[in-house]
Amino acid sequence: MIDLFEIEWVETEWAWARIRMSTRWLLLVMFWAVPAWVVPAGAQQNVRVPVEQGGRTVQLAAQLFKPATATGRVAAVAIFHGCGGPGQNTARMAGLLASWGYAALVVDSFSTRGLKDVCGRNWPTQADAEARAHDIDAALAWLGAQSFVDPKRLVFMGYSYGGGVAMLRALSSKPDDASPSPARAAVLVYPDCALADALGPKLALRQPTLFAMGALDDWTPPAQCRAVIDRVTKGRDLVETRVYEGAHHSFDALGLPVRYLDGVGNRSKPGGCCGAHYGAHEPAWKQFVVDVQAFLAKNLAP
């Protein structure tokens, strides 16, 4: 059984500030963690994204990061968190995206629904993941309706469980599906590729999609994603993969040492249980940033 202390470390490295520590130490840590590229506060805005759920409209909390110097309509990226909820990794990426001239929307799929994390006993089911995929549709629609966003240059990006959900939206179980994608591209960061098991033996991909994975990941192993990619019979040329040597799950959780959690749900293990390593690998993070920037530049050109 995993305790609350451990769960709050998962995929949300900033949650470690909740640990009991002196006020002086907490302030020191917060100061030390502020990166040079942080977007000015005026460029960030708390917003709500409406999504239909069970015959009613749910207003998802989200944070919008706008580029400070962009002119005209800009490309935009909707970001979806992992099983631990939004964290410093998603905020860091949103800040980077804004510094590159993109708008970024970090969507909180949990708080409005009364969830905090689903890494342990509340490990999400296939049905949960398929239902959450509608959050991606809602976020893209919201972004496309903003006056400063180019609705023809939208991207969705997901981490871990959120990456698996994004994978469900990127793929189609109908190889002859000719319907256009609502997005120009997708980025899947150490995605939960086991979620694709229910989609069938043949898959189609409708937009360029980057799979970014850690070679040592035993929570969402690259082998599972390779098996998914092998089933793509249409749009296989749209797939790009990056596997970072020496990296575990959450390689972008800067400052978080690699550790093992024995109580987290793990779809890659028999019966979906239990245990996985996670933690930062700075070389992987640095290369990941380069790879994402290049991928977006290539696929979001006006």
pLDDT reading at 41 higher than 60? no
pLDDT band with cut points at 50, 70 and 90 for residue 243: very high
pLDDT band with cut points at 50, 70 and 90 for residue 112: very high
pLDDT value of position 6: 35
Structure tokens at 280: 């930062």
pLDDT (mean) for 47-63: 96
- What is the percent of the chain where pLDDT is above 90? 75
Mean per-residue pLDDT of the chain:
87
pLDDT value of position 229: 98
Tens of pLDDT along 133-168?
999 999 999 999 999 999 999 999 999 999 999 999
- DSSP code of residue 179: P
pLDDT band with cut points at 50, 70 and 90 for residue 179: confident
Report the CATH fold assignment for 4-299. Rossmann fold (3.40.50)
pLDDT value of position 35: 47
- DSSP code of residue 123: P
pLDDT band with cut points at 50, 70 and 90 for residue 38: low
pLDDT reading at 17 higher than 90? no
For residue 16, what are the CA distances in angstroms to 29, 133, 138, 235, 277? 10, 28, 31, 41, 17
pLDDT value of position 175: 80
pLDDT reading at 233 higher than 60? yes
**Contact present, 104 and 63 (Cβ < 8 Å):** no
Tens of pLDDT along 20-32?
233 333 333 333 3
pLDDT value of position 174: 84
**Contact present, 2 and 120 (Cβ < 8 Å):** yes
Tens of pLDDT along 181-210?
889 999 999 999 999 999 999 999 989 999
For residue 261, what are the CA distances in angstroms to 95, 229, 275, 281? 29, 28, 5, 17
DSSP 59-82: EEEEEEE--SS--S-EEEEEEE--
pLDDT value of position 180: 80
**Contact present, 192 and 221 (Cβ < 8 Å):** no
pTM for the structure as a whole: 0.87
pLDDT (mean) for 72-96: 96
pLDDT value of position 14: 31
pLDDT value of position 39: 54
pLDDT band with cut points at 50, 70 and 90 for residue 42: low
- What is the percent of the chain where pLDDT is above 70? 86
- Domains of the chain: which residue ranges? 4-299
pLDDT value of position 49: 98
pLDDT (mean) for 101-129: 93
Tens of pLDDT along 245-272?
999 999 999 999 999 999 999 999 988 8
